[in-house]
A and B are shown apart, each in its own frame.
Chain A
Amino acid sequence: MSEHSGPHHTSKMAGADGDDSLYPIAVLIDELRNEDVQLRLNSIKKLSTIALALGVERTRTELLPFLTDTIYDEDEVLLALAEQLGNFTMLVGGPEYVHCLLPPLESLATVEETVVRDKAVESLRKISQEHSPVDLEVHFEPLVKRLASGDWFTSRTSACGLFSVCYPRVSSTVKAEIRQHFRTLCSDDTPMVRRAAASKLGEFAKVLELDYVKSDIISLFTALASDEQDSVRLLAVEACVSIATLLPQEDLETLVMPTLRQAAEDKSWRVRYMVADKFSELQKAVGPEITKNDLVPAFQNLLKDCEAEVRAAAANKVKEFCENLPEDSREQIIMTHILPCVKELVSDTNQHVKSALASVIMGLSTILGKDNTVEHLLPLFLAQLKDECPEVRLNIISNLDCVNEVIGIRQLSQSLLPAIVELAEDAKWRVRLAIIEYMPLLAGQLGVEFFDEKLNTLCMAWLIDHVYAIREAATCNLMKLVEKFGAEWAQNTIVPKVLGMANDPNYLHRMTTLFCINALSEACGQDITTKQMLPVVLKMSNDQVANVRFNVAKSLQKIGPVLDSNALQSEVKPVLEKLATDTDMDVKYFAQEAISGKLVFPPPAAETSLYVRFYRSGKPDDHAVFLSSSTVLSLA
């Protein structure tokens, strides 16, 4: 078959005749064109294996030309190809031949799918480093120019990302050409290209000589920042950060600030949003003096913006902005300029704004100290704890630790309680779930007495919530509480209640008892587990509902390690043996598993035993699904 192999059939790895080691490679090559995308993808991901087998010369002369024209494929295949080619230098013969990789990457850099193009550009940037200075000018830079002057804007957008990697390594003549190309793309007809140029402006500025930054970049920056397209102007805000970082302080006022001021007051809310979103970066880039004089009023305006999206973005930055204010005037600026705006936001009409503020406002207490917090912030916290929107309350509660450090949580506890109770009973289960997750934290900060008095009932009530996720979280919560308050506390307060549920008429509640025992046994220790929990579990092995019985088997397996060996042998074993002869196949299965003690099961998946069957057979089948759901239904 050597007649098919073309002129380069002496690959290093290939044997001369009938070599079965070639077979897997042959399959991989053929599957580059398989109809099944997954197989093609698989072959592309093993492209290095193929290249290795072909040797460097055939890779260069046959494989790469083929790949250059394969741009018809699915995005995911092209994406994988673009990524592979970035690591291909050694496979084509080392840096000397790295330019052979340019044609396929060039064609990938012109496809319409942004992710593929970006990946091709990333790989091009990577291999540009492997070009010698000469190759860079002979091969790479012409490619950049071709892309930059391509007919389609896809190629021009890709060019924008390549200027900064070749600029530092080329001669000054070529440098001038590159600057010219970048200038042209900044005023391209299509907004796509101008956006690409705007997004790379900062990066390009970084590699330019300072003089050119001042002469070239600033004028491009100013032009892009006043582009007719909102989507271009807003990208200029990002560039503003990098450019401001590059310039000496004394130039900022004249070169950057006019544009930044204009952006902060742009007619389009999207641009102002971008300014708000990048405010901390901008603040660091322009330094303390400009911050004091310019950014403080700008920030105030953003906090009072007419568009809620902008106010929310600004509200998100309140803490960071305040933290980064120059220390000498920080408190004064916050108290006289920022706090009044913050006060207004607490009663904003938009819930996203309030909720954004609630997620950071507590952080101000560490900055302002105890007295200011008590006098000025506490009323705001309390107001937000009473907000009509659950997310606002939740955000306050989730950040309580900041306040705790400064003034102690007691100051808040009277308002905290109604807020927690209301969230605990919210109609949305996600809200209930969120508050449960903060319980251990709250318990730690409020102390055991307060908890027993006010919150314990809530925690127990969640155990019989009608949503499984809540019951599950409630179980987990109990475990964390026991870890915090100790076994003795558990024995007196929660264990009796949990065990009491074993007699509940609802089988779901009886199962909750088992889940709690699973979670608590370790934290409660051997004594409580053996003496109090075990008898209940064993008794439940006679439950009429199969789901309860197989969960007994699972529980016994789970708490086994905590029990003393006497109890294991004399009490647990007989029960498991009995369950192993149960009429229900699930019960049997789990009892046997528990006896052999080999399998560790995933977290409770009790309400449907689909999971169980899945793990047993390795894959779920329809029959099993049917069976298990019918069992559950008939028993419930």
Chain B
Amino acid sequence: LAANKAARGNDFQWCFSQVKGAIDEDVAEADIISTVEFNYSGELLATGDKGGRVVIFQHEQESKNRPQLRGEYNVYSTFQSHEPEFDYLKSLEIEEKINKIRWLPQQNSAHFLLSTNDKTIKLWKISERDKRAEGYNLKDEEGRLRDPFRISSLRVPVLMPMDLMVEASPRRIFANAHTYHINSISVNSDHETYLSADDLRINLWHLEITDRSFNIVDIKPANMEELTEVITAAECHPHQCNVFVYSSSKGTIRLCDMRAAALCDRHSKFFEEPEDPSSRSFFSEIISSISDVKFSHSGRYMMTRDYLSVKVWDLNMENRPVETYQVHEYLRSKLCSLYENDCIFDKFECCWNGSDSAIMTGSYNNFFRMFDRNTRRDITLEASRESSKPRATLKPRKVSTGGKRKKDEISVDSLDFNKKILHTAWHPKENVIAVAATNNLYIFQDKIN
């Protein structure tokens, strides 16, 4: 049903469901959300922030007396994943900011996720406990010690029910394998390995082995002055265990086959769209840099995000994307000032809906964009406190592009470039989306009529 609905595209309306995070005007740096990720079932939603914390929300069961209100996401577990560190050998501070979170497929009643900062990847277990052992031999119920010489019988502890407790425990720490900053982690479909990518290298890890990883891509030139591009993102194919892709700052994507060789220096596919010479400018290279790459759930397509657009590529066609969507074309004339305020280097992410029929990515002014791949319709929505009334329908936003500004339109000049939506996530099965706006997490869902 959900898939059907999504396939029909935007003929439903998005409405507000929840907002998480403080309303305060001045935002603490540590509270800024740096990654958002649903787990495989969509039952859990994880966020990471610049303060190194991971917050996990759980989907509550729908309540029977309010059937129009679908379940909300409530805090399930919060833990400090990474702490600030200092590399004494290189005199470098290592930020605690969580760069990426990836869930592992569920293997038993506990849940597992990988979280990473610039240098260190950690495997966390989130598990529930609802029983507690009771009864000691050497203490009585109040915890007073008993006389050890008067013990006349042995007492075996008994497990009693207790309030549900959710524990997060670090299971493995994968450290010391990255010289540069980690930008991506991705779990392989074999469920036993994952890859991690930094600016110049990609490593392959076994989930159970922390003291060893295999370098599978290394683009570091012998002489760093010859460096012309860096790796910006990498992802494993959702079904083919041997295939992964990585994108570069030059706007190209390489697909590698791990079967062919241990070191994937030679790609098997190279995706690149020829540049249009007429639009060539000083900023061409910067804005063509790919900030995110995501395989579709089907594994047939992949999507890349560059500064101004989202492109969908068919894995069988390397010379151009099959679809290109403009995210905020009106910024093309503003590149100069965006360069000056560094916004041009913002790394926007992108995501697919559960049936691969729609895609979503962020923009400025707390706007985010959705594109329906079947109808080619697009929509701009805003994550804002103003519309955050329960069940309030989100009104489409419009940015005026030159000429006269119509009513309800916002002029490009009044966009707030400090409010950027970099991280979004789409529930794998339903039309529920999570949108990170600075320190707030907005959850929207489709309206059931």
Residues in chain A within 8 A of chain B (CB atoms): 1-2, 4-6, 9, 11, 14-20, 22-23, 25-27, 29-30, 32-33, 53-54, 58, 62-63, 65-66, 69-70, 72, 110-112, 114, 152-155, 190-192, 195, 228-231, 266-270, 306-309
Contacts and interface: CB of A to CB of B under 8 A. Distances in A.
B261 A62 contact: no
Interface size of B as a range? 35 or more
B208 interface: yes
A22 B259 contact: no
A245 B258 CA distance: 32
A58 B107 CA distance: 34
A372 to B, nearest CB: 34
Contact of B262 (A9, A58, A269): A269
Nearest to A157: B107
Contacts of A54: 154, 156
Contact of A152 (B106, B241, B242): B106
A4 B135 contact: yes
Contacts of A69: 131, 159
A504 B149 CA distance: 69
Contacts of B157: 29, 32-33, 66
Given A30-B136, A112-B108, A22 B153 contact: yes
A2 B153 CA distance: 6
A230 B241 contact: yes
Contact of A66 (B127, B129, B133, B137): B133
Given A2-B152, A70-B133, A269-B261, 15 more contacts: A1-B146, A1-B151, A2-B153, A19-B152, A26-B151, A30-B139, A66-B157, A112-B107, A155-B108, A228-B239, A228-B241, A230-B259, A266-B259, A268-B242, A307-B261
A68 to B, nearest CB: 9
Contact of A23 (B112, B129, B151): B151
B221 interface: no
B109 interface: yes
Contacts of A63: 156
Which has the most chain A C-beta neighbours within 10 Å: B106, B108, B149, B191? B108
B388 interface: no
A167 to B, nearest CB: 26
Summarize B's interface: helix, strand, loop or mixed: loop
B277 to A, nearest CB: 39
Which has the most chain B C-beta neighbours within 10 Å: A20, A58, A112, A191? A112
A112 B261 CA distance: 31
A231 B189 CA distance: 11
Given A230-B190, A267-B259, A33 B133 contact: yes
Contacts of B131: 69
A58 B156 CA distance: 9
A110 B108 contact: yes
B150 interface: yes
A25 B261 contact: no
B224 to A, nearest CB: 24
5 contacts: A18-B149, A22-B151, A23-B149, A29-B137, A152-B107
Contacts of A16: 152
A509 B262 CA distance: 47
Contacts of B127: 72
B155 A112 contact: no
B406 to A, nearest CB: 53
Contacts of B191: 190-192
A308 B208 contact: no
A23 B151 CA distance: 7
Given A66-B157, A69-B131, A30 B149 contact: no
A26 B154 contact: yes
Contacts of A195: 192
Contacts of A20: 148-149, 151
Nearest to A150: B108
A228 B127 CA distance: 32
Contacts of B107: 112, 152-154, 192
Nearest to B261: A307
B260 interface: yes
B137 to A, nearest CB: 4
B179 interface: no
Nearest to A16: B152
A114 B157 CA distance: 28
B240 interface: yes
Contacts of A1: 146, 150-153
Contact of A191 (B110, B154, B192): B192
Interface in B47-61: none
Contacts of B260: 267, 269, 307
B396 interface: no
Nearest to B167: A72
Interface in B231-253: 239-242
B23 interface: no
Contacts of B136: 30
A230 B239 CA distance: 12
Nearest to B136: A30
B154 A5 contact: yes
A1 B159 CA distance: 20
A239 to B, nearest CB: 18
B242 A14 contact: no
Nearest to A232: B190
B150 to A, nearest CB: 5
B154 A29 contact: yes
Given A14-B152, A22-B151, A63-B156, A228 B240 contact: yes
A11 B153 CA distance: 8
B89 interface: no
A88 to B, nearest CB: 15
A112 B112 contact: yes
B311 interface: no
Contacts of A15: 152
Nearest to B259: A268
A190 B106 CA distance: 11
B30 interface: no
B208 A191 contact: no
Contact of A29 (B129, B150, B156, B242): B156
A468 to B, nearest CB: 23
A15 B105 CA distance: 53
Nearest to A268: B259
A63 B133 CA distance: 12
B158 interface: yes
Contact of B155 (A4, A27, A72, A228): A4
B19 to A, nearest CB: 34
A66 B158 contact: yes
A232 to B, nearest CB: 8
A5 B149 contact: no
A25 B154 contact: yes
Pairs A-B, 9 closest by C-beta atoms: A5-B153, A26-B137, A268-B259, A62-B156, A152-B108, A9-B153, A154-B108, A22-B151, A4-B155
Interface in B82-137: 105-110, 112, 125, 127, 129, 131, 133, 135-137
A307 B265 CA distance: 12
A152 B112 CA distance: 13
A192 B242 contact: no
Contacts of A308: 262
Contacts of A53: 154
Interface in B258-314: 258-262
Contact of B190 (A110, A153, A229, A266): A229
A612 to B, nearest CB: 30
A72 B129 contact: yes
A555 B106 CA distance: 64
Contacts of A267: 259-260
B192 A192 contact: yes
Contacts of B262: 269, 307-309
